[in-house]
Amino acid sequence: MYRLVISFLLLLSPVILKANDGYKLWLQYLPFENKAVADYYQDYLGNITLVGKSPTHEVIRRELEIAIEGFFKGTITPSIADHNEYGLIWIAKSEDLSGTFKAAIGEKSKEIKDDGYLIKYSQGKIVVTANSDIGLLYGTFALLKKIQTREKLEGMEILENPKIQLRLLNHWDNLNRTVERGYAGFSIWNWHRLPHHIDQQYIDYARANASIGINGTSVTNVNANALVLTPEYLEKAAALADAFRPYGIKIYLTARFNAPMILDSLPTADPLDLQVQAWWKKKAEEIYSYIPDFGGFLVKADSEGQPGPHNYGRTQAEGANTLADAVKPFGGIVMWRAFVYNEKTPTDRIKQAYDEFKPLDGKFRDNVIVQVKNGPLDFQPREPFHPLFGSMPETPLMMEFQITKEYLGQESHWVNLATMWEEVLQSDTYAKGVGSKVINVLDGSLHGYKLTGMAGVSNIGTDRNWTGHHTGQADWYAFGKLAWNPESHIEEIIGDWLKMTYSNDPDFVNPAKNIALNSYETLVNYMTPLGLHHIMARSHHWGPGPWVTGGGRDDWTATYYHKADKKAIGFDRTESGSNALAQYTPEWKNVWGDPETTPMAFLLWFHRVSWDKKLSTGNSLWDEMALRYQQGVEGARWMQNEWSKLEGKIDTERFTHISSFLNIQATEAEWWRDSCLLYFGQFSGMPLPKGVEKPKHDLQYYLNFKRNFVPGI
Amino acid sequence: MYRLVISFLLLLSPVILKANDGYKLWLQYLPFENKAVADYYQDYLGNITLVGKSPTHEVIRRELEIAIEGFFKGTITPSIADHNEYGLIWIAKSEDLSGTFKAAIGEKSKEIKDDGYLIKYSQGKIVVTANSDIGLLYGTFALLKKIQTREKLEGMEILENPKIQLRLLNHWDNLNRTVERGYAGFSIWNWHRLPHHIDQQYIDYARANASIGINGTSVTNVNANALVLTPEYLEKAAALADAFRPYGIKIYLTARFNAPMILDSLPTADPLDLQVQAWWKKKAEEIYSYIPDFGGFLVKADSEGQPGPHNYGRTQAEGANTLADAVKPFGGIVMWRAFVYNEKTPTDRIKQAYDEFKPLDGKFRDNVIVQVKNGPLDFQPREPFHPLFGSMPETPLMMEFQITKEYLGQESHWVNLATMWEEVLQSDTYAKGVGSKVINVLDGSLHGYKLTGMAGVSNIGTDRNWTGHHTGQADWYAFGKLAWNPESHIEEIIGDWLKMTYSNDPDFVNPAKNIALNSYETLVNYMTPLGLHHIMARSHHWGPGPWVTGGGRDDWTATYYHKADKKAIGFDRTESGSNALAQYTPEWKNVWGDPETTPMAFLLWFHRVSWDKKLSTGNSLWDEMALRYQQGVEGARWMQNEWSKLEGKIDTERFTHISSFLNIQATEAEWWRDSCLLYFGQFSGMPLPKGVEKPKHDLQYYLNFKRNFVPGI
């Protein structure tokens, strides 16, 4: 009778609530759609046994309670047993499994590695098992995901081991709570209230990250403030570390290279100076006294004003090794960023990281990993993979993706970053012949790296939905999934995310997925088609700025990169130009060395092409560019239109929020198209081809357009 | 049958949820506790008729839907009719009432004024009526409050007219989203996304304000940026105004006095310069073209670095009148702050506003209202009422309270500000003899003011609970209630707020109310007992700083105000001193002129008293001071302890949040006590009396204590 009543109500009450601010991310645990669905899962969720005791077990228990509360709209009280013969879901580490289950699982459990897990259906029961507490938590989240996406539990057998060891978020958060390149408000780290107040948001942050396998976080900006290494802040960081520990998330801090000078007035920060080395050792000791499982340092050195070993005529390896030696006794690591380039611009900026690091291969300590951006420039809408991937067999490299959309629409554009990331991850470097994909570099299989990692520059802020744009949550989610397994299918990732976050209704999920999957190419078209790059506005990087020139640093201007004149446009990076191409394997040199064989996506990245050059499409370069900008605008409008059809299928609040951002996106797509075509049209001198709309204003209007207090700087 | 089922479930499902971030403020619409309660209200809420059409009517309809969803946990679908003979709740403007109802209500409806409302029970039905759409919205909120607090509806008759016309929030929010003296994160105004994106939070802000009768908001800092008067920002402000309009909330902007020079390079901002006057007129015209019902300007001039009429040898009236003339044709007003004091400190700072404004009485245009802080200094934990109240019979004065707790614990102290406000509001100025209370000045009854107003400096920010400390919501709520009716009983206000926000369980409400009502005196004791003032840390004002001295501006130091030496402590403001006392009526001069008759709360505010002076308590001044500091600390611990007993009576999330802040408060109370007693003890040379705990550290420790990036500056 009681069960019947519940289901009756579930049927009656609409699943679609009017207000949902998105705070719960993909852990909405949306109510079951109807009686049948509820009944099906209730058999399992009503009979859970969780074996063992640890802070992580408490986290598991709490998560199950939250999930059950959500699934059943609070109509049943979760009850999770420690031991219960009748349990239909058993959650236990392999060492805690009873004989019956051990037998049922058999050899399979031996394949569990690290924090991996196994979920196996056997004789009417589901077993979630792992070798570690954290593995058990991951397994629980995986099972909950299956229920969130309404999959059948019978016959389930999932064995998942992480393919990458270090799965990290990098927060570019300053201690004053501004966020560099942050577009979702301000930093969620309220340093002033730490260590005394642990906000619920920190816990929910840890839950969200654990649910997608993220196991570390660097909480401070790479443009670093040395203060974070003082007791005042270490005490605060330790409180965060304590809060995150049960979720398997380690804390990392950014180290300012000249911290010994700033904090203790040492006369130098030379990494080979004995006093400096002693300073870092003592500092590491101090840090570990606060945070016994401190992860280590993330360092940006010799780049964009940050001090580094160059100041003392030392190499990046010498710099990294001094810090690495300091944390080594405690099991710490150093993530040393390869984003090093000279402020004097002696050569093509995109060549510099390779030139600097390639000769140092093998010269780094074994607890150093070099963190490399996906492309050789700086998170542009589209770049070829970074030539360091495949070029450092003796030095572990980790990937740095930018989840925050500095160059991809910032606040308000919907662009599914996983599409871009997949493009890079699946690129073949040919370092050891065909099949030497970036993925194989990252997972350690190509070169036998002992350390592997992937970092994502966080898009999280104080906005009520965490990420500003609701769809930014998908990028955070997808980053975690790809860090766990870079071979994951992005279509599945976005589909799962939509289901868990919004609705399992296929009439919502399929069209929304379609929008997401088309969003990346659309954005590239209206921003930087044909391999254009770095043509955004100065400093805040919001909106178009192909006219940006001068100002002291050539390699921070647009004209340096597009080099448009009356004859041609594009950066010649072949032998006749900067020869950046030489940093790639011969296979790529062949393809990218000739404009005829270069995919149009990278045409102007590698080549200088005359405006009237006929492309494979039959269009002149100018016409092709104009048509692509137009196509981008139309794509943005299509996204608007497709989304508008989904009204009523999800809650009004998030539907409206995304709608208004899609309006902004369509308007800004026009802004990009009109600005770029008016500007480049001055050089091409050619008319707009048929099908391309006339610009709304003249070029002067766009040149004059200026907004104050653009976020993120 | 259906009804039975619902109630059965309501009985079964616990009202106490585990997670509640407080975002819904006092509009939680908490589920009915049991079947009987639900049944009782369902008769009414299931039969609502709302007559009429307007954007505000849509707001009313939506609010009823939200409320019903909350009360019944989404188990019944709200249905609100336009016309329905069977309606048990009728919501209609007086002009829309049918004959039957008109008769039932009778003469009573003639007593409704402005945006007032009448709720009347008659023959089994409840009528909510008003003369304006906004009045109807206020009436609806009032009815919902009765249901939220589980009051009987039968026999109800409530007639409420606002006692004050202008009921405003003042946001000290900068355009870059930092908030001056903001301790709840950053500004909720996301200017970058405006005008295109209207966030749900703006709507919820308007709902919350309308629910307590607030009818205006000044959205920018009084330390003003002239940019807000440019088309770029006016377009954004207009979008906010459009969003707020259905809720009866007008937008006001802060005007930087030299805006004509900054924005249009005028050679002067002299208010008597014809070009300047023409500029303001044109600017007003422009503003009203964006915002037809723009409220007007709020101005801070000649104060703390802000430009003003002084720069041109003009009076505050001449400055205010130029702006007033500009907005007059459009129905706008100017709120001119009396917080004017000279950076050269020629005389006791607290005398300056009176000295400046009193001679100008009657010289302001009739659309100017002078905005006066509650006390003559600057929002200290305790000040006597401002001597301007009662001294400006020909010039309307409005109150400025500070809801954000710049000097009262900032982030993390629970202090019920309404207690302090009531103290000021109920003060008798004796301006026209006994019964000339500050309230009578503000509501216009004493001097026949045509304009009346009350402003509260907002404590709202991006924190998920809006106000940083959950109990800061109570201050926002109480401010609105007191602005509507300054005679409201604060015990009732805090009780209602607790019920609507947390629970109707008297075992929670009574003890929590008790904590709140004791919090103010507790804070004054551990911060500034016996009339001490301005002894906080420099610049950020967080924590004690009785040692603050030097630095260029005497009147920004602590030593200027406490004047402690080996003999005595306190500021002599009698005839033998600064004679600030002369600004008050003879009744107060008598009481405050003699240390023997001065209440201890203001002893050191008005007098210099020797350390060994015996007070009415039998203690020496030193002993009394030390005992009060100790009492404050004990009070903070008592609050901690009382709160801890309430565990399980409300949701875990808010319970825990408040607990951790109470821990911080108790620790900081000790910090205040120990710092101040160590510092002042140097002068008194006397030992701590029995019962006062020994300081944890020596004075040097407290002098050295320094924290970086303290919020709010």
Residue B99's pLDDT band (boundaries 50, 70, 90)? confident
Does A19 or B594 have the greater pLDDT score?
A: B594
| Beta-strand pair A89-91/A117-122 | unpaired
The values of phi and psi at residue B397, to 5°, are: -115, 140
The average pLDDT across B472-484 equals 98
Report d(CA A388, CA A397) in Å as an integer: 8
Please give the ipTM for the structure prediction: 0.96
State the amino acid at position A486 in one-letter form: P
Task: Take residue A686 and report the two structure tokens written for it.
Answer: 């050619």
Cα B663–Cα B664–Cα B668 angle in degrees, nearest 5? 120
DSSP states along B138-168: HHHHHHHHHHHTT---TT-EEEE--S-SEEE
Interface size A-B, in CB pairs within 8 Å, comes to 119
pLDDT over threshold 60, residue A362: yes
Give the SS3 label for residue B370. strand
Q: Which residue in B115, B160, B302, B406 is the catalytic one?
A: B406
Question: Do the Cβ atoms of A197 and B657 come within 8 Å?
Answer: yes
pLDDT over threshold 70, residue B15: no
Question: Do the Cβ atoms of B708 and A196 come within 8 Å?
Answer: no
State the amino acid at position B254 in one-letter form: T
pLDDT over threshold 60, residue A6: no
pLDDT over threshold 60, residue A5: no
Collect all residues of chain A within an 8 Å Cβ-Cβ radius of residue B23: 21, 464
pLDDT in the model for residue A344: 82
Measured CA to CA in angstroms, residue B537 lies from A530, B376, B411, B602, B704 at distances of 58, 20, 15, 21, 12
Among the partner-chain residues A17, A74, A186, the one whose CB lies closest to the CB of B462 is A186
pLDDT over threshold 50, residue A482: yes
Q: Which residue in B65, B180, B204, B304 is the catalytic one?
A: B304
Measured CA to CA in angstroms, residue A469 lies from A21, A101, A185, A659 at distances of 11, 45, 11, 11
Dump pLDDT digits (tens) for A393-409: 999 999 999 999 999 99
Report d(CA B537, CA B410) in Å as an integer: 12
Dump pLDDT digits (tens) for B693-709: 999 999 999 999 999 99
Beta-carbon contacts of A543 under 8 Å, excluding residues fewer than 6 positions away, are A536, A537, A668, A671, A672, A675, A705
Give the best residue of A15, A183, A189, A192 to mutate against chain B (max B CB count within 10 A).
A192
The average pLDDT across A78-94 equals 86
Dump pLDDT digits (tens) for B652-706: 999 999 999 999 999 999 999 999 999 999 999 999 999 999 999 999 999 999 9
> Pick from B552, B421, B436, B537: which is nearest to B482 by CA?
B421
Report d(CA A309, CA A301) in Å as an integer: 7
B432 DSSP β-pair partners:
none
Question: Do the Cβ atoms of B196 and A23 come within 8 Å?
Answer: no
pLDDT over threshold 60, residue B12: no
Lowest mean pLDDT among A257-271, B333-347, B359-373, B535-549: B333-347
CA distance A56 to chain B (A): 19
Among the partner-chain residues A14, A74, A462, the one whose CB lies closest to the CB of B185 is A462
Report d(CA A237, CA A294) in Å as an integer: 10
pLDDT in the model for residue A107: 85
Do residues A366 and A415 make contact, with C-beta atoms less than 8 angstroms apart? Answer: no
Which residue is listed with tokens 């004002």?
B541
The values of phi and psi at residue B390, to 5°, are: 95, -10
pLDDT in the model for residue A1: 32
User: Which active-site residues of A does the annotation give?
Assistant: 304, 378, 406
Helix axes B2-12, B35-45, angle to 10 degrees: 130
- Annotation says B180 is catalytic: no
The average pLDDT across A174-180 equals 98
Give the best residue of B3, B68, B464 to mutate against chain A (max A CB count within 10 A).
B464
Dump pLDDT digits (tens) for A135-159: 999 999 999 999 999 999 999 999 9
Sign of the torsion angle spanned by Cα atoms B701, B706, B711, B713: positive
Report d(CA B373, CA B407) in Å as an integer: 14
Residue A100's pLDDT band (boundaries 50, 70, 90)? confident
Dump pLDDT digits (tens) for B180-226: 999 999 999 999 999 999 999 999 999 999 999 999 999 999 999 99
Report d(CA A176, CA A196) in Å as an integer: 18
Helix axes B200-211, B55-71, angle to 10 degrees: 90
Burial of residue A616, with CB atoms counted within 10 A of its CB: 0-12 exposed, 13-18 middle, 19 or more buried: exposed
pLDDT over threshold 80, residue A83: no
Give the best residue of B17, B29, B193, B707 to mutate against chain A (max A CB count within 10 A).
B193
pLDDT in the model for residue A14: 45
> How much is the CA Rg of chain A, to the nearest whole Å?
26
Among the partner-chain residues A9, A177, A709, the one whose CB lies closest to the CB of B9 is A9
Average pLDDT value over all residues in chain B: 95
Do residues A353 and A347 make contact, with C-beta atoms less than 8 angstroms apart? Answer: no
Question: How many Cα atoms sit within 13 Å of A697 on the Cβ side?
Answer: 12
- Annotation says B423 is catalytic: no
pLDDT in the model for residue B105: 85
State the amino acid at position B431 in one-letter form: A
Do residues A335 and A455 make contact, with C-beta atoms less than 8 angstroms apart? Answer: yes
Among the partner-chain residues B6, B23, B232, the one whose CB lies closest to the CB of A707 is B232
Dump pLDDT digits (tens) for B514-524: 999 999 999 99
Work out the number of other CB atoms within 10 angstroms of the CB of residue A267: 10
Report d(CA A252, CA A232) in Å as an integer: 16
The values of phi and psi at residue A522, to 5°, are: -60, -50
Write b or e for each residue in B189-206: b if 16 or more Cβ atoms lie within 10 A of its Cβ, otherwise e.
Answer: bbbbbbbbbbbbbbbbbb
Does A26 or B100 have the greater pLDDT score?
A: A26
Measured CA to CA in angstroms, residue A25 lies from A209, A501, A506, B299 at distances of 11, 6, 19, 42
pLDDT in the model for residue B682: 98
Among the partner-chain residues B19, B663, B711, the one whose CB lies closest to the CB of A196 is B663
CA distance B125 to chain A (A): 29
pLDDT over threshold 60, residue B139: yes
